[in-house]
Amino acid sequence: MPADFSRVLVTGAAGRLGRFVVRELAGRGIVATGLVLPGSDPVPELDGTVFGDARDPAVVATALSEVDAVIHLAAIPSPDHDPAEVVFGVNTLATFTVLDGAARAGVRAAVIASSYSVTGLPFAPTQLAPAYLPVDEKLPLQVTDPYALSKQVDEATAAMIWRRYRLPVVALRYPFLGDVASTLPARAAVVAADPVRGVRELWGYLDLRDAARATVDALSVPEPGYHVIGLAAPTTLSAVPTTELLDRYLPEVPRHTEFPGWTVPIDLTVAVTLLGFRAIHRWPIAEQGG
């Protein structure tokens, strides 16, 4: 990250990914302000905390004080627990408010949380299949739920912000994110018990530490502009080899490459090219054969 970035605003800093991102920034000696909801637990590594809603322009303006980069993570993370209009409305308005406010405040770089779910596959009411494999950033979307739709709009908002204000924005399409203490072992157990439970996410995942590192790196992509970048660990959470999984559960989907071993069927070319991305923390289930 360029040394002339003095302070980064992290919205949703008290969330699961937000805490790891703040920790990553602190580890690099970068000062961070957090924008969090009232009542959130403290985030010790923050230099300052603003309590409020990311949809509120006045709150966002306060949080942007003396900031020259923004990482926007505040969002409702799924369509499962809130009314559809709340999921869509909260996520899209927060993204617009933060990015528009950042551009007007003269912020010089922004990263937003998109999601693999923008493909429409994870939360579809019936199981859908991707148009081809590996999934990449150009995959045709099949949106059928309010969360995926909110991420599609978030990405469109980011593109508009670049065109209108020339504020560089990177939208990161995160897969299932987890930590080694709880969520990754639990998810791996689900997939091991019934591999079909992982089809919608293509058995993909990413350790929160790697996600945080990629998020901070995305502030300094070498090509200014608007970029969508898909992320994932290079291997799946399943002990079953990828080709066997695809033959069994997605046999009709065209494959543009081979998937040796436990290779995740998500194309990481853009992440490697623009971020130098490499997942350090890999769940060992595939390497151990279960």
Question: pLDDT, tens digit, for every residue of 216-236?
Answer: 999 999 888 999 999 999 999
The Cα diameter of the chain in Å comes to 54
**Chain segment 85-110, per-residue pLDDT in tens:** 999 999 999 999 999 999 999 999 99
- C-beta of residue 249 within 8 angstroms of C-beta of residue 195: yes
- C-beta of residue 172 within 8 angstroms of C-beta of residue 115: no
User: Domains of the chain: which residue ranges?
Assistant: 7-179+204-234+264-283
What secondary structure letter does DSSP report for 174? E
Determine the topology of domain 7-179+204-234+264-283 in CATH: Rossmann fold (3.40.50)
Length of the chain, in residues: 290
Determine the pLDDT at residue 1: 43
> Is the bond preceding residue 284 a cis peptide, omega within 30 degrees?
no
- C-beta of residue 208 within 8 angstroms of C-beta of residue 182: no
Determine the pLDDT at residue 283: 87
Determine the pLDDT at residue 39: 94
- Structure tokens given for 30: 């970068």
Positions in the chain whose pLDDT score sits under 70? 1-3, 285-290
Determine the pLDDT at residue 181: 86
